[in-house]
Amino acid sequence: MNRFTGFLLLLFTGLSMAAQEEATISGVVTDEKSFPLASVNVKVENSNLGTITDLDGEYSLQLNSGTYSIRFSAIGYKTQTKSVTVSPTQKIDLSVTLQEDLQSLGEIVITSNRRRETLDEVPSSVSVLTSSQIEELSQTSINVADVITEIPGIALSTNRTSSTGQTLRGRNMLVLIDGIPQSTPLRSGGRDINTIDPNTIERIEVIKGATAIYGNGADGGIINYITKQPEKAEKLQSTTELGTMGSLVNIEHTIGSRISQTFSGQLDKLGYVINGNFQQTGLFRDANGEVVSPTYGLGETNQYSLFGKLNYQFTPDQSLELMYNYYSSNQDTEYINQAGVYGERPAIGVIGEVIGVDQGNRHNHNAQVTYDSNNLIGGTDLRVNMYMQDFQTVYGFSPYFYNAEEGYDGGQSTIESTKQGLRINLKSPYSLGELNGDLLYGVDILNDKTSQKLVDGRIWAPEMDMTNFAPYAQLKTLYREFVLKAGLRFENIKIGVPDYQTIYLFPYGGDTSSGGTSVNGGELSYDATTFNLGLRYNKWDIFKPFVSFSQSFSIADLGRTLRTATENTLSQISSEAVIANNYEAGFNSRIGNTYFSGAYFISTSDLGATYREVNGIFQIARQPEKVYGFEFAVDSRLSQNFKLGSSISYTEGKLDSQDNGNYDTYMNGDRIPPLKVVSYLSYRPLDDWSLRLSHIYSGNRDHFEPNAEGDYTYGQGPVNSFNLVNLTSSYKLNKNTSLGLGIENLLNEDYYNPISQWAARDSDYIKANGTRFNLSLKVKL
């Protein structure tokens, strides 16, 4: 007993001495704007010791005496390693500032390929906007279509609710929220980009070029809005943002307001984030102080957003996540459109009687349940997604729907779409000698019901009921510095169309009636196999080349074809699908603190999806298409306080009008944007103060001749160049409070957006915004 007691006493004494010998290393991790960074990994190399920073960016480690290398890492920032020597009971302050990783070539993790992988593992062009970049860009404009404008390959935004013409590499893209389709390819309405509030978004991933990984509608690629994740450093974090905006040309009736509130945290195994936003905009004015036309405008709108996410971690390998997002944006105005004269004077807003109901996105509901189970048999990971979307948008009143016989002076159309889907995704690793990688496989099941009706109840495009069953497999192989990816997707689509009658009307109040055709419905079937293959070589930081071939599958706006049908049976209506083939060669490079990236691409399809206007009615031109172009970007850190960068995007497209292999006809402006050059300079004069100046150049595009009367067909108007300068600034008042200021069109450029120019219509000849400000106050507690 005495020996046992002595042993315990000796053990207790040794433990006490060891505890007394421990040193404490602590500090704060901040970004370049001196804002604290939460959830930064602080790891003692060659050991199992480590921690993460809390909400205030603070951390603390207890270590025995010795010399250690401590690594600080976070997604979107350059990893830093600090060496420190400590002695018993010593307390050391080790604070670091992490620099944003420009382009984050090998560090940023993307998930839109259905697996977590770095950009160095992707043999194709990918752009990612991080949370800090989104916050900075949305300081100028809270319209998410403007936020993505600086991404190479994406056309300029329209300054309207419509995203018509804002294509990706000259083709339509599939817009997603956490992988949930927002686009309505069965009846494309051009309302899919502005379906979420930027304050809800954690990051934006853009995969360029044809891809079938998410099915119908991704000819140009995908844009995936990844929503916010719970903050795991604290039980409760509160972020409140107040803002106001308006015109600096003529402030009268232009003031708007904004409030945003976010709660986030981690309660044991449960993570949560809740966000609500409300915004009310005033009038928009052009560079001369005139009221911008309210036609599909963003002025005088009420926007609501509600978002929530719960994540429960059952075990380290099993989790369940619930997500819901609601978004609504509707115009409430007393102004009406006063048509301009194309090429001479703009359409403007004037006080008048607004006919019909408010236009805008009535609602967009998205919900998703995600179950993850990792390290199953053979190390296989399983992910199951069940999701839904319910979307409705309302367009403005138009005399196009005039019908005196039934007492209609016109009408307003709506697009309604509901989607329900299931994704079962498995990933199994493998290793064969020096070869290793994984096989991604599973199945997508989607039901999409989309229709276009009028507010008064008339049917313009009947409800199309699509069921898509698509098994797929994607193989990734790593061999030394090579990354090889190949995949197959098997599309099995059936679309049911009921018996219907095309809408009977007198276009624009004319005397010649149209429509009234009775069409016998039925079922359309589409089966296709799409393929992709890519190779990347990662040996040298100075040059990492890749080549790829990929295909996409899409049904070219079936609803537009159905609503103008002249045949009486569905089988007689041309509705063949589009298979797009995308060929791409590109590279990424890093020389010191300078990053380069570039790509050349060609996209072809035997059938087209370009609209042409015939006697006031839109038809789809089914000629072969070829779209080609290049992108190049450079970003450089000149010093601790200076960053600059630039990118150039060039896209062109032609049609084979005679189907003889000779691509002799240029494609319209609603598909092909003019040359775009984006440049920026970021400067931090003080630790608490940052500035960013950006310049956007939009070039000329003039390939078409007017008719004998001097008028241009829709989509073929000449586009003239313009220059746009924006300024953003943020100032940190204290640890928890910051001010932000954004100035849109700093030099008050008097210009028309490309859509106003190529549309070639008097009513759509609308000028862009003059100088506007956006002032915000953000408080984090």
Which pLDDT does position 372 carry in this prediction?
92
- Mean pLDDT for the chain? 87
Nearest residue to 530 (alpha-carbon basis) of 475, 607, 472, 444: 472
Residue 428 pLDDT:
92
Dmax of the chain from CA atoms?
114
Contact 513, 492 (CB under 8 A): no
Instruction: Name the residue with higher pLDDT: 607 or 396.
Output: 396
pTM of the model: 0.85
- The secondary element (H helix, E strand) that includes residue 240 is strand 237-247
Q: Which two tokens stand for residue 212?
A: 């079938």
Phi-psi sector, 242: left (phi>0), alpha (psi -120 to 50), beta: beta
Provide the pLDDT confidence category of residue 621 given band limits of 50, 70 and 90.
low
The pLDDT of residue 12 is 39
660-670 pLDDT per residue, tens: 889 989 999 99
DSSP 295-363: TTBSTTEEEEEEEEEEEEEEETTEEEEEEEEEEEEEE--SEEEE--BTTTB-BEEEE-PPPSSPPEEEE
Alpha carbon of 642 to those of 631, 671, 681, 692, 730: distances in Å?
Answer: 24, 37, 7, 10, 15
| pLDDT range class, residue 620, cuts 50, 70, 90 | low
* d(C-alpha 301, C-alpha 393), whole Å: 14
What domains lie within the chain, and their CATH numbers? 20-97 (2.60.40.1120), 109-208 (2.170.130.10), 221-453+472-566+576-780 (2.40.170.20)
Number of alpha helices (DSSP H) and beta strands (DSSP E) in the chain:
5, 44
Q: Say if residues 254 and 291 touch (Cβ distance below 8 Å).
A: no
The share of the chain scoring above pLDDT 70, in percent, equals 92
CA–CA distance from 274 to each of 224, 240, 322 (Å)?
20, 12, 12
Per residue in 209-220, pLDDT tens?
877 677 777 888
Q: CB within 8 A of 219, min separation 6: which ones?
A: 171, 172, 173, 210, 552, 554, 578, 580, 603, 605, 609
Containing 756, the helix (H) or strand (E) segment is helix 754-758
List Cβ neighbours of 410 (8 Å cut-off, separation of 6 or more): 355, 397, 398, 399, 400, 401, 402
Q: Please give the pLDDT value at position 20.
A: 43
- Lowest-confidence region among 59-68, 124-133, 619-628, 644-653: 619-628
pLDDT of residue 362 exceeding 80, the answer is: yes
Backbone angles phi, psi at 379, to 5 degrees: 80, 15
